[in-house]
Chains A and B, each alone.
Chain A
Amino acid sequence: DTGVSQDPRHKITKRGQNVTFRCDPISEHNRLYWYRQTLGQGPEFLTYFQNEAQLEKSRLLSDRFSAERPKGSFSTLEIQRTEQGDSAMYLCASSFGAATNEKLFFGSGTQLSVL
């Protein structure tokens, strides 16, 4: 069990540029979640997948954000035309199943800074 891995750990970009983050969940986990966290706040839900199906996307998420999990394994989160307000830690988490008592295993996150 190598845990949830995210790449890159840090990303600095200029406003207006596109960025893509990758998440590799724990191999036998079916659920994959993306959260965003800013300083002093808890993780804010963005979207989640059950295998390759995207089940829900937060209403707070603009159309500039898109996520995929093409083969039900790794996932990518793309942000187009980045804005300074997108600066945050982007956390990926996975869980084995869909039960309400399934704990989340988080990756170390990708810290995005938009200049």
Chain B
Amino acid sequence: GQNIDQPTEMTATEGAIVQINCTYQTSGFNGLFWYQQHAGEAPTFLSYNVLDGLEEKGRFSSFLSRSKGYSYLLLKELQMKDSASYLCAVPTNAGKSTFGDGTTLTVKP
């Protein structure tokens, strides 16, 4: 089975940096996804990590440690539009993804 844990809510200030953590337990590891979901909208892909380390993509970076079963999403220079739910997901070897319950990020002025 697969178990994914994320904090339920986080709050940060516009212009700041925030780190959203995800821990997972899987019977086999096939990478880890991060998706962004604005309220009332569909999730959209942010990143995929399969090797240890940090992958940077503009203001967003994602980190993975396979030995610790841990990932984080780092958001820099926060903007109001970054207020959303951030979902961590792990795929099985058949490609089906299991999602965490998401972290709702609120960015305040």
Contacts and interface: CB of A to CB of B under 8 A. Distances in A.
A97 B44 CA distance: 18
Q: Is the interface of A mostly helix, strand, loop or mixed?
A: loop
A56 B94 contact: yes
Contact of B95 (A31, A35, A40, A91): A31
Interface in B13-38: 30-31, 33, 35
A75 B93 CA distance: 23
11 contacts: A40-B101, A41-B101, A41-B102, A45-B98, A99-B95, A100-B50, A101-B91, A103-B45, A104-B43, A106-B44, A108-B42
Interface of B: 4, 8, 30-31, 33, 35, 41-45, 48, 50, 87, 89, 91-102
Nearest to B4: A42
Interface of A: 4, 31, 33, 35, 40-45, 48, 55-56, 91, 95, 97-109
A46 to B, nearest CB: 11
